[in-house]
Structure 1
Amino acid sequence: MAIRVLLLAGALLAFACSHGATASDPSHLQDFCVADKTSPVRVNGLACKAAKEVVVEDFYFSGLHVAGNTTNKQGSAVTAVNVAQIGGLNTMGVSLVRIDYAPFGLNPPHTHPRSTEILTVLEGCLHVGFVTSNPENKHFEKVLNKGDVFVFPKGLVHYQYNNRTTGAVAIAALSSQNPGVITIANAVFGAEPSIPAGITTKAFQVEKSTVDWIQAQF
């Protein structure tokens, strides 16, 4: 009898351990966790506002109908709607952006370290693409017209270029409340303090004068 009890206990323990190792919590454990931006608590995300303090405006944003200002060197503007704009996105794992492009405007090569992106062209035409990781570095590219949709996998370098003489508009959904963005040129040549010239010249196989010129642009 004692042996049967031990065997049963062992089987139950093994079952619990195997399921505990593979199970995980859902993305959120309550109806919502509106971000308390005043809280000193630092977690992987933002602390929750007390439920009794939550108001309807915590789930609302207005402004995506307004075109972004594209009068800059790149000729593009991103209007973000993430947890910084809508506290109710906290723990929800989703956000979006509007991107405006001037004629021949560029959203330069960049990555989202925490998010996959799905982009829809609302107006105009875009030449888009992304590059896979080393060592293949395969370039996938496509010309998109109004109503077309394209996916940029999480963490991969990607871009959008308006190759027309008229403006373009796109909207993109991202699989993170705070996807982050790393613009490649800004990160490499606009770092503060600067990456030592000996590193950048060797990495890009160019003269220091070339690196100095590029850094001056940022």
Structure 2
Amino acid sequence: MSKNFLFILILVYLVVGVISFVSILNHNFKTDSKNKELENKILATQLQMKEQELNYLKRQIHPHFLFNTLNTIYGFAIQQSKYTPDIILKLSNLLDYILYQINKPVVNLKEEVLHIEEYIGLEKMRFSDTLRVQMNASNLSNKHKIPPMLLIPFVENAFKHGQMVDGFLSINIHIDIIGDQLAFTIKNSVKELHITEGHHGLGLENIKKRLQLYYPNRYKLEVEHGHHWYKVELKIDNLKDLSHE
């Protein structure tokens, strides 16, 4: 009896142990599944918020440029200028880029530069003989991609907040690819005692947010101002590695 009792007791302990082990494994599996499901929901929410923030930032980029250009077209139309059709064509190309191409995750860097040149062309007509612009773009190729409207807001700000010195608004733009790094510099004239807060305001903050979303910890944005000039310099490392592509 004692031997049978001991055998039965051991058997009961084994059965209870196996059942407990299986129960614990099942509980852990369910807990892990719930945790992973929760993590996936959190990640999906974060991605959705990131996408919404990007869309919000994109929508703030271009309204005042559109109004300025429409005013320019209105002025040329009143004068019955021969340049009016050319302005409308340039504006049409830019609007296509601003309103439709911006929904793409990336665009060719050359395409962004082309639309910067069109933008400058429109501003040249608006400023007439009081504008001096120099733009150099080198080492660009079709393999270099960036988020749409990444550089144009810098140019837009230079025209918006730049000021005439000695009768001219002067703007210098330099775009270069060094290895896999994008180097972008823009410098505009400004009256030393009248540097506007707009340079440091909402526009630049939106640009910083976009850069952080697309190139976290891989960009360097510096702002300098001196005697009658204001300069912004942007460098992006590992240009091909676009986190939001």
> Structure 1-normalised TM-score?
0.29
Which protein is richer in strand relative to its size? 1
Higher relative contact order (CA 8 A, sep 6+): 1
> Structure 2-normalised TM-score?
0.27
